[in-house]
Structure 1
Amino acid sequence: MTYTPSCTALTVAPDVTLYHTGPALDHGPLPAVFYFALSGQDSLCLDPYNQPVQFLSGQMLHVFSLTLPAHEAGLSPHQALRVWADDLSKGIDSLQVCIDQIQLALDFVINQGFVDPKRVAIAGLSRGGLIAACAAAEEPRFRYLLAFAPLTKLALAKEFSLLKENPLVASYDAEKKAELLADRRVRLYIGNRDVRVSTEACYAFAMALVEKAHEAHIRSAPIELIISPSIGQMGHGTSPEIFRQGAHWLIECLIHHG
């Protein structure tokens, strides 16, 4: 796809900017997706990272995004995980700041009457998938979680090679959020040999979700892991077809209530 959605910026707080694309906000409460990949604007407007957003175009749902830590203007996204590692090694928890901003933004769009609070999903690509999972764990109004090639264990990323025993780094292992996410509807996509974020770690996260759902007596838990042939550098790419499938899953969940 080559369609580039336009997006607008909303001021949620003096230091919190929320980006939006989709129907006009005066349509009344609609379903919504919060999607994270890079900066808020690039997540919604920069191909190929915004391909899930492109596949949602034309639907009666809002798509929102905020800027991930270390993805602000003037910073290279290629260095972002190195910045995360440096911050966490110093006890600076920029990830929690981002998660708090997501919750603040969700409150804002619901209180403004833009979003139906019962039909809200959160989604992310790679590092954005980790932020999405952690935010959903803290915010039960995110009933649906979608992640493409998600980073699920920070210590496995090369930038964190010296921080494997750091407790703050370990606190962001997605597996540790499984109990809080066990009652959600979840879909994860990963390549069969993703050595950037680890296929095995994503599988372990999915199985942890399933086990916690079982312990909570949830029958036939709607938790899906879809493993496809790896593409791209380090097997970490995501194809347009996978993005399309994920977007259609969101449409089924949020609009058709599938």
Structure 2
Amino acid sequence: MKKLVIALLCGLLPVNFLTVYANPELKISLHKTSDGIELGVLGNTKQGHAAPVLIILATTIQGTLGSEYYRHCGNQLLGNGYVCVSIDLPCHGDQRIGDEPEGLPGWSHKVSQGVNFVAEFNRRLSSVLDYLIEERIADPERIAICGTSRGGFLALHGAINDKRIKCVAAFSPVTDLFVLHEFKSNPKKKLIKEINLLNYINQLAYRKVWIVIGDQDKRVGTDHAVKLAREVSNLSNNLQTTGKVYLHVMSEPRGHTVPDGADKMAAKWIVKELGRGL
């Protein structure tokens, strides 16, 4: 039985039970792992028990957790007892090394130097998960991850790399680095292919994946996101696999923008997969 669920949606979505959690007193607290990795935490960590956790990836810690847009489903999940966590992406914030370019040009620069920035990111993320579990912030059985655009690319990689992450939601994700103009002239084609998500469809077939993208997203490529989901779905026909892919292609005239209502859809899906917090 196929495990790809595709939804073609137009217009606004009805409001569901998950509403945006607005708390002006909610502050981002900064923590450090034993190996010096900084993470930001948003939510009630003094509940007396470990909570379900949502890792959110977009830019920097402050730029992500401090932005209602980039928090996406985290806005709803905070009101359902979840704790939201973020770390700086490669070439963002404290992860920008020396005079290397910032953002996606920095990623391309690293690759041109033969650096697998995904492997280093995965190492940092796993260390953060160790910390969250050891400090009893995270319930080890209820960890989700989400990301926007480049953050979606890394969220999918994070879920592939660390099985403690139970499900992943990707908002308008980069799925193929070759689509990005920052990588067009990069000579390290072999390394780019190695870290592209299509190289990991076997692993994704065992994961719970939720993807939303606009139907005219030329920046990261709507067709490439659809291709990734279909490739994973084809492998998921094997009864031994445990994954499932939910793909939502929605009308989005502004191009590379997360479609309206996607945050509520993702929050509802994550609660279905992991349950509510207390």
- After TM superposition, the score normalised by the length of structure 1 is 0.89
Partners of 1:17 and 1:66 within 8 A in 2: yes
- Alpha-carbon distance in structure 2 between the residues aligned to 1:28 and 1:240: 34
Residues 59-112 of structure 1, C-alpha deviations (whole Å, 9 max, x = no match): 21111111001111697xx94111110110111233321111001101111122
Cα shift at 1:222:
2.7
1:161 CA displacement = 0.3
Name the structure 1 match of 2:45: 24
Give, in whole Å, the separation in 1 of the partners of 2:104 and 2:62: 19
DSSP 3-state at the match of 2:144: strand
Contact 1:52–1:244 (8 Å) recurs in 2 = yes
**CA 1:29/1:208 → structure 2, altered by over 3 Å: closer, same or farther?**
same
Q: Which residue of 2 aligns with 1:224?
A: 246
1:52 is matched with 73
Q: What code does the residue aligned with 2:261 have?
A: E
Q: Which residue of 1 aligns with 2:164?
A: 141
* 2:141 is the counterpart of 1:118: yes
Shift of 1:142: 1.0
Q: Which has the higher contact order (CA 8 A, sep 6+)?
A: 2
TM-score, structure 2 as length reference: 0.83
Structure 1 residue 13, shift from structure 2 partner? 3.5
Q: Which residue of 2 aligns with 1:209?
A: 232
* Deviates further, 153-162 or 209-218: 209-218
Describe the superposition over 1:2-46 as per-residue Cα deviations: whole angstroms up to 9, x where unpaired. Answer: 946521111114531011111224531211111101102221112
User: Is 2:266 aligned against 1:246?
Assistant: yes
Structure 1 stretches of 5 or more lacking a match?
none
Contact 2:214 2:259 in 1 (8 A): no
Question: Judging changes above 3 Å, is the alpha-carbon distance between structure 1 residues 240 and 228 closer, same or farther for their aligned structure 2 residues?
Answer: closer
Post-superposition CA distance 1:136-190 (Å, at most 9, x none): 1111111101100000011110100013761111112112111112122111001
8 Å CA contact retained: 2:88, 2:95: no
Q: Does 1:104 align with 2:104?
A: no
CA root-mean-square deviation: 2.4
**Amino acid paired to 1:117:** P
Measure the CA separation in 2 of the matches of 1:67 and 1:104.
14
Note the 1:86-101 alignment, pairs <5 A. Answer: 86-101=109-124
What is the aligned partner in structure 2 of residue 152 from structure 1? 175
Aligned sequence identity (%)? 23
Give 1:168's match in structure 2, choosing from 156, 178, 191: 191
Q: Which protein is richer in helix relative to its size?
A: 1
> In structure 2, what is the equivalent of residue 194 of structure 1?
217
Query: Which segment drifts farther, 109-118 or 65-74?
Result: 65-74
- Decide which moves more: 237-246 or 37-46: 237-246
CA pair 2-105 structure 1, distance change in 2 beyond 3 A: closer
Give, as a single letter, the amino acid of the residue that structure 2 aligns with 1:20.
Answer: V
Q: What secondary structure, in the 3-state scheme, does the structure 1 residue paired with 2:68 have?
A: coil
Report the counterpart of residue 87 of structure 2 in structure 1: 66
Moved over 6 A (4+): none
